[in-house]
Amino acid sequence: MLDNLFGKNRKGASGLPEQMRPKERMRAVEGSSMAELAAKLLIAPTALMQLAPEDALTVVSYMIPRRIATGTTFIKEGDKTDTGYMVLLLEGEVTVENIIVSRHEPVTVTVLGPGSLIGEMGLVDGKPRLASCTASTAISCAILSRAALEKLGEEDPKTAAKLMFAVSLRIAERLRETSEKLKNYSQLVQAMQQEIDHLMPT
């Protein structure tokens, strides 16, 4: 059901979105229910709600849809080479896991559903992946590569700027959430230490 590009109007298409002309790319997504779903999910609260619907459809025209089988780990924690893309989850569930210090088995951090963005930090900085992502069910997704993002920047700098601003806001929001969790954890550790000191005075 999912082709290399969204939609069926692919006559004369060269394959990858970044290799196509802008009009050709937009024709490829025209009238595609899957492309419309991807654009809708891209501006959902779990993704990049700062984008306008027309901006989202433009971004989707640069994305490649994919199906991934159940049990496939498509992003691996610590991977330094395969980092130049982000994934928009369209259907199915993904388990996000981390290897915690002194443990051999990964710990589940969260489970993501449709409308979730995965790997956007890697798209921006190309640094090693911070977690592993495994398809809990068969999933449908849309992938934006760094090459496609660069092409978007050349052809439609305004939309590219909006996209990067939305991604930056999302990363900043997650950083704030992590900082708040660390603060709460620090307070908990301090309270536990005070309780221990009270029960076992030196």
pLDDT tens for residues 37-67?
A: 999 999 988 888 889 999 999 999 999 999 9
Give residue 12's pLDDT band: very low, low, confident or very high (50, 70, 90).
very low
Give dist(CA 160, CA 150) in Å, integer.
8
More confident residue, 21 or 141: 141
**Cβ 26 vs Cβ 97: under 8 Å:** no
Residue 7 has pLDDT above 80, yes or no: no
Q: Does 64 or 199 have the greater pLDDT score?
A: 64
Among 69, 76, 127, which Cα is nearest to 99's? 76
pLDDT at 13: 46
As a whole-number percent, the residues of the chain with pLDDT over 70 amount to 90
What the block records as the tokens of 101 is: 């210090």
Find the helix or strand (DSSP H, E) in which 34 lies: helix 33-42
Q: What is the mean pLDDT of residues 14-32?
A: 78
Instruction: Encode pLDDT of 108-130 as tens digits.
Output: 889 999 999 999 988 888 899 98
Residue with tokens 């449709």: 114
Structure confidence by residue, pLDDT tens digits, 139-198: 999 999 999 999 999 999 999 999 999 998 888 887 788 778 778 888 888 888 888 877
* Pair 77, 99: CB distance under 8 Å: yes
Task: Let me know: does 62 contact 88? Beta carbons within 8 Å.
Answer: no
* Token digits of residue 46: 């779990």
Query: Which residues on neighbouring strands pair with residue 88, listed in sequence order?
Result: 117, 142
For residue 67, the one-letter residue type is R
pLDDT band with cut points at 50, 70 and 90 for residue 103: low
Domains of the chain: 17-199 (2.60.120.10)
Is pLDDT of 1 > 50? no
Query: What is the predicted pLDDT for the residue at 18?
Result: 78
pLDDT of residue 159: 94
